[in-house]
Structure 1
Amino acid sequence: MLSFAALAARPEFTVAAVTCRNDHKGWSATESPDDFRVVLVRRGRFRRRTGGVCADIEPTTAYLGVPGEEEQFAHPAGGDVCTAISLSPALWRELAGDAPGVTTSTVYVDARLDLAHRRFLAAARTGDIDYAAAERLMDLTGRVVARVAAGPTPVGGVTRGSARALVAAARDVIGAGHPAASGLLPLAALLGVSPYRLSRAFTQELGVPLTRYRNRVRVARALDRLEAGETRLAVLAADLGFSDQAHLCRTVRDHVGSTPTALRRLLRGSAPNQPNQPTQPNQPT
């Protein structure tokens, strides 16, 4: 029996936590999905067969599936818990470019790739799907694509000069509040680059991820509103594109060390205490 719990979903990608409780040792019926997908195991193991080749899939081995590929599964050791990532053909092309195919469907998950997987899961839990989760997803899938693509891909290095120009253009778009700045993928599309390359350029040029830079801009706007006396934190969160009030509070506290409520008092200033009036001496009667 399979169960799915959505972790992140956008038109370009979907990510789900998949729990399998099957314990059948034989092969399942043949499946032929129509998407590009990366599957990483968090717990347990299973077997996958495609093109007559069998592979054991467990926490140190992931697999990459391509559209139309026939595959079967077996679970001789019991169930498993996986992260299943589905990519649209357009997003796959942005990551893989014109590479003619893949050299292998099995990917060794070293400690760095394992950490990239865990960092994506942590980012997805924040609720910031369009930046934090999307940026971590591009890092994770970009690493996988670079290992299996049968040729050069757009996820290679970014030169210093191109990074500087790309970051400058992205900062202009974010600063202007352009609708494309609502997420990593639409921002990259507006600038005509892969989201992976845009993310890498920010880290290379500014030393901080794109997500943190964008949040820095939003925190400044939040401080402006708080300084002006804004008390409706839910409205403020919605206006600035946070997923909810809690997301706003976490982000502001992460950047400046205080909650929005405390910052509003700090920026507005408290009314000074009135000094005590001196006591008049008793007058003789």
Structure 2
Amino acid sequence: MDSHPQWSEAEVAGGHVVVLVRRGRFRRRARDGVLEAEPGTGYLNVPGEPSEFAHPAGGDVCTAVWLRPGLWRSVVGEERPVRSAFYVDAAVELAHRRVVAGGDVAFGVAEGLVRLVGAVVGRVVNRPLPGAADRRVVAAARAAVLEEAPESAGLVPLAESLGVSPYRLSRAFSREVGVPLTRFRNGVRVGRAVERLEAGEEDLAGMAADLGFADQAHMTRTVRDHLGQTPTALRRLLTRPG
């Protein structure tokens, strides 16, 4: 897809849909503001509600999960939640990858994905929206982490680069995203580790260094904390035939 930086015509959702971003970046404008959509984010579509999109960086790939009204209420909790956007943690990303890869879509894997999405959505969608200034700061912090900017290596240098106090950044980030900044940063690294393991990565020590972990043991602890499994076990799971 070519770049289209201007906003599209409004698109009205025809059902209850959970959208998970797989690749690419784009912008979505809805009733609760503008989402800088990228891998690690998701959003909710509610019947009859319009959204506009812009693609300044080209194309994207997303997974859309259509839910019946009863299942929607059990997952989201409200017909029209306060927020439509949410952060996708490493556990949801792993379940998402397994569904896309053609796992047990009808039962176990899909059920796990819906359950995990429900837990993530429940943490944030009905919280009050923060002020516009805090949302801009959080968006900039997320972008710095995702782009591996040097200042994203720590809370203090990241806050300094954004012109806010570490306390304000930490508080605003947790309120907006639903998890602390440190856990978000680690989750991004875990997600990248999962992507490489799915591709058959065998050099775990080298991967740990590439992704910014202190060493392989640090990576193993972090991956287990987020996903409940070691990198070696995940590689077997993700590369298993069928």
State TM-score, norm by structure 1: 0.40
What is the TM-score normalised by the length of structure 2?
A: 0.47
Bigger fraction of residues in helix: 2
